[in-house]
Amino acid sequence: MREVVPTIGGRLNQLLTADGLELLDLPLIERLESYLSLILRWNSKINLTAVRDEEGILSRHFVESIACARILPAGIHTLLDFGSGAGFPGIPIALCRPEIEVTLAESQSKKAAFLQEAVRLLDVTAKVFPGRAEALPETFDCVVLRAVDRMPQATQAAARRVGPHGWLALMTTTRNLNELQEAAGGTFSWSPAPRLPGGEDRLLALAQRVRLQT
């Protein structure tokens, strides 16, 4: 008997189920499949992500970003993906949480062009800022960081873009958590960090601003 190979959406739901996460519905799966296809096409020309195979992108990037989208608190209306790269976690957040207006900040021009194409193709509530996130004049209800260069310095800059009573969300590891909490400064109150899929030490560190910046 010939082995039945799961579709991309089927494989993604298998990975989510294995991590105890809810299944995706068909319309969302179809949009995520389109997003993956776009990543694979562009990744053959520019270095969007170091993980280049379909399975690795699903297990490393998609599942973790979907988990992040589901963990973020209710009441967030605007979100900044600080150093978006290939759009993780910002685009999955925009797809899974359509009530959130997402800004994808990316300073590398080729990656910013990819993000513009992804936003157009997927028709998500998101906009692309083709520059350094530090240059944005506004603040946001939530700022999220994942796998950016010089993470402690980026955390300091990201904290300044969090509005009053807003949230800072750091996708990081247990060994780096204390350093990043210190980098964020003393105006935040940290919640217990839930585990993220993809490894025992991966977590989402969430902090709410409780005092104004000085």
Q: Is residue 184 within 8 Å of residue 155, measured between CB atoms?
A: yes
Residue 95 lies in a domain: yes
153, part of any domain:
yes
Instruction: Give me the DSSP letters along 159-205.
Output: HTTEEEEEEEEEEEEGGGHHHHHHHH-TTEEEPP--B-TTSTTEEEE
Structural domain includes residue 73: yes
Please tell me the distance from the alpha carbon of residue 42 to that of residue 44, in angstroms, as a whole number. Answer: 5
> Domain of 129?
8-209
Lowest mean pLDDT, pick from 9-18, 98-107, 180-189:
9-18
Question: Mean of the per-residue pLDDT values for the chain?
Answer: 92
Q: Tell me what pLDDT residue 214 has.
A: 58
Q: Is residue 1 part of a domain?
A: no
Residue 91 lies in a domain: yes
Q: Kindly state whether residue 2 falls inside one of the protein's structural domains.
A: no
User: Looking at residue 197, which CATH number applies to its domain?
Assistant: 3.40.50.150
Residue 146 in domain: yes
Q: What pLDDT, on the 0 to 100 scale, is given for residue 140?
A: 98
What tens digit of pLDDT does each residue of 142-189 get? 999 997 889 999 999 999 999 999 999 999 999 999 999 999 999 999
Whether the per-residue pLDDT at 86 is higher than 90: the answer is: yes
Total number of domains constituting the chain: 1
- 185: amino acid identity, one letter: G
* pLDDT tens-place string over residues 25-54: 999 999 999 999 999 999 988 888 888 888
Q: Does residue 3 form part of some domain?
A: no
